[in-house]
Amino acid sequence: MPHRNFLIKRFNELWRYDDEGVPWKVIDGEREFFWVQKKTEEKRIYYTRENENAPAEVLLNPNKWDTTETLLGFYTSRDGKYIAFGKARGGDENPVINIMEVATKKILPDTLRGWRQFGVSWLPDNSGFFYSANPQKGKVPEGEEHYWQAVYLHRLGTPAEQDEKVFSHDEVKEFSHDASVSEDGKYVLFCRGMFNRNEMYFKKIGSSKPPIPLVTGFDSYYDIRLIEDKFFITTDLDAPMYKVYVTNVDKPERENWREFIPENKKDKLSYIRGIAGNIYAVYQHNAYQQVKIYTIDGEHIRDLPFSTYGTSRVSGYWSKPDIWVRFSSFTYPVTTFKYDFDDDSLKVYKEFPLDIDVDNYTAEQIWYKSKDGTPVSMFLVHRKGLKKDGSNPTLLTGYGGFNISIMPRFSTTFIVWLESGGMIAMPNLRGGGEYGKNWHEAGMREKKQNVFDDFISAAEWLIKNKYTNPEKLAISGGSNGGLLVGAATVQQPELFKVVNCAVPLLDMIRYHKFGYANIWTEEYGNADNPEQFEYLYKYSPYHNVKNGTDYPAMFITGSENDARVDPLHVRKMVARMQEANPNGEPILLSIEKESGHGGGTTLSAQIEQSAEYWAFLMYFLGMEIPEDQE
């Protein structure tokens, strides 16, 4: 396809550049760590220095590892004397933790228990750390090694066999478990989760007593921050848009909780962070973010002064003065600011390193009605002065699941699509987290069809309002978004010209029997339950392919090392669709051998993979290569 070489060239121009990450300091001390990406290298290199004025030295260079090995997890001790880092292979999301002494660059002989080792949280005295891991194959019944995650405590210099299991569950294999040491080093918080519901426990560091329950019963979602011996509890308990409670560490019982930030009935509270002596609350307003600042006593001070709508991330320590803000939008390249609290200003620390002309493009938000009349928001990104004559090549993409929010963000991949004359449409579907708990639950289990209806209605709105037509409409989605476009394709094939369906769930009757996918029954349901079988079978893309149907062209991708979605889904779907209409549009299968759920392990592999499916979409929409790129 002629677009492939153009895309490889353009992606190399946009994805390969010399870049440096914002340094992060350790909690105790001045040592800094940061990464450097060189345009000639495939992976980031990690550096350290004793303080911001000291010379930097290379700490880890994954470019010297095997091509398929990647860094997955980087955990500094509180004073920066040690790091623990995970090394995964071929995108398998199964990191093996190594421990390095920073001053000497020596790798310690320590090993850990289990596999899929994540979430290292160091003890304040450097004597060891907590981590999460799954049991090794053979230690549990066959197949169950994907479950039974537990928290262990490793002491430096001791063998893995002596690591103590400190937090787990003996009856429900699907529960996740993790631990984190508070910033002040006094406590460790334990979380037992099942996606959107969890339990929380805590204990003093060094205590031999069992963890103290803070919230139990799996009645809601809780995120807990420990600041100055107070628990700040963000929850959707009786608050679909989330609220914050506060209580003292010595009075953790629910009857002692006091309201800190009340629920905002219009805007969802995403999270809070305690930074430099104040509380920063990040809200989602109409699927974009706003940041409000509160005192530790709950008094609203002001909002952060963003110049446009977009997505932000606020970070820093309670005990340190630096306040970092990362911000981007569809036409606002990623920028890192330092926030000056005293004069209420965002000072640019690091801008996007490439000069990309975004002045010709604009983003707008519209609302349309879904099949059942529910209003749904959608972002449209396109050239200024776009003609609504029904001829615009349009990419419709979405997610709609797991309480995940789709918000404005800068994407160089989208820029290439726009440069080529295309338009992007991103609806905020039910099942996502843009509008709170009720919005998410309206797209779960027996209500999953709402998500597909929202997506199909978005396509119909775009066509009706003369933005595009079915011959110029492409759809794309990955993972749960792959299920989305798979379902939309088999339900309304006449609406779409071409489909990119990446690492998807497509057989919803048997999905839960492979890997650790049974944990997703909380979101989708389980076909072993007769009632849930009925609605799963009704929308399962694989089971609803119909012989003789004129399906759009499809590029369906899977990854051999995908830890989340077994590639059996794409193999079965392609075989079934080719059987259903052997003389129709091409239905192509691509299985990446050294890739995981997130794609290739090197920049070159990611560029090649992306160029393939974007070329497929552009070819079938009849898009032209920009004249200055031919």
> Per residue in 205-226, pLDDT tens?
999 999 999 999 999 999 999 9
Domain ranges of the chain: 18-181, 266-353, 361-623
pLDDT score of 56 more than 90: yes
Confidence of residue 627 (pLDDT cuts 50, 70, 90): confident
pLDDT score at 630 = 65
pLDDT score at 349 = 96
Q: Strand 106-107: give its sheet, edge to edge.
A: 69-76, 82-89, 96-101, 106-107
- Among 90-99, 163-172, 240-249, 350-359, the minimum mean pLDDT is found in 350-359
- Decide: 96 and 74 in contact? Cβ < 8 Å: no
- Decide: 514 and 488 in contact? Cβ < 8 Å: no
Interatomic CA distance for residues 281 and 295, integer angstroms: 11
Higher pLDDT, 147 or 594: 147
pTM over 0.85: yes
- In this prediction, residues 506-510 reach a mean pLDDT of 98
Q: Same CATH topology for 18-181 and 361-623?
A: no
Please give the single-letter amino acid code of residue 566.
D
Confidence of residue 1 (pLDDT cuts 50, 70, 90): confident
- Count of CB atoms within 10 A of residue 109's CB? 9
Confidence of residue 46 (pLDDT cuts 50, 70, 90): very high
Q: Which of 281, 314, 278 is nearest to 295 (CA)?
A: 278
Catalytic residue among 479, 540, 595, 610: 479
Residue 371 corresponds to which tokens in the numbers above? 């099949």
> Per residue in 104-117, pLDDT tens?
999 999 999 999 99
Interatomic CA distance for residues 274 and 293, integer angstroms: 10
Beta strand ranges found along 459-521 (DSSP E): 473-478, 498-502
Work out the burial of residue 195: count CB atoms within 10 Å of its CB; fewer than 13 is exposed, 13-18 middle, 19 or more buried. middle
Radius of gyration of the chain (CA): 25
Degrees, nearest 5: CA angle 560-473-328: 70
Interatomic CA distance for residues 599 and 609, integer angstroms: 8
Interatomic CA distance for residues 541 and 484, integer angstroms: 9
> Per residue in 227-246, pLDDT tens?
999 999 999 999 999 999 99
Q: Which of 466, 382, 379, 469 is nearest to 426 (CA)?
A: 379
Please give the single-letter amino acid code of residue 555.
F
Interatomic CA distance for residues 257 and 265, integer angstroms: 21
Interatomic CA distance for residues 222 and 194, integer angstroms: 11
Residue 80: what are its φ and ψ, rounded to 5°? Answer: 80, 10
| Catalytic residue status for 3 | no
361-623 CATH choice from 3.40.50.850, 1.10.10.10, 3.20.20.60, 3.40.50.1820: 3.40.50.1820
> Pairing mode, if any, of strands 394-397 and 423-427?
parallel
- b/e string for 573-599 if b means 16 or more Cβ within 10 A? bbebbbebbeebbebebbebebbbbbb
Coil, strand or helix at 313? strand
pLDDT score at 195 = 87
pLDDT score at 587 = 98
| Catalytic residue status for 146 | no
% helix, strand, coil for the chain, step of 5: 20, 35, 45
Interatomic CA distance for residues 433 and 430, integer angstroms: 8
Interatomic CA distance for residues 245 and 257, integer angstroms: 6
Integer CA distances (angstroms), 287 to 151, 300, 314, in order: 35, 22, 17
Query: To the nearest whole percent, how much of the chain has pLDDT over 70?
Result: 100
Beta strand ranges found along 148-235 (DSSP E): 150-155, 164-167, 176-181, 187-194, 197-204, 212-215, 222-227, 230-235
**CATH code, residues 18-181:** 2.130.10.120
Task: Give Cα 397 distance to the centre of its chain.
Answer: 16
> Per residue in 292-340, pLDDT tens?
999 999 999 999 999 899 999 999 999 999 999 999 999 999 999 999 9
pLDDT score of 472 more than 80: yes
pLDDT score of 132 more than 90: yes
Residue 299 corresponds to which tokens in the numbers above? 């008094």
- In this prediction, residues 284-298 reach a mean pLDDT of 97
Integer CA distances (angstroms), 378 to 247, 368, 411, 429, 459, in order: 39, 8, 17, 9, 11
- In this prediction, residues 415-430 reach a mean pLDDT of 97
Residue 432: what are its φ and ψ, rounded to 5°? Answer: -85, -175
Coil, strand or helix at 544? helix
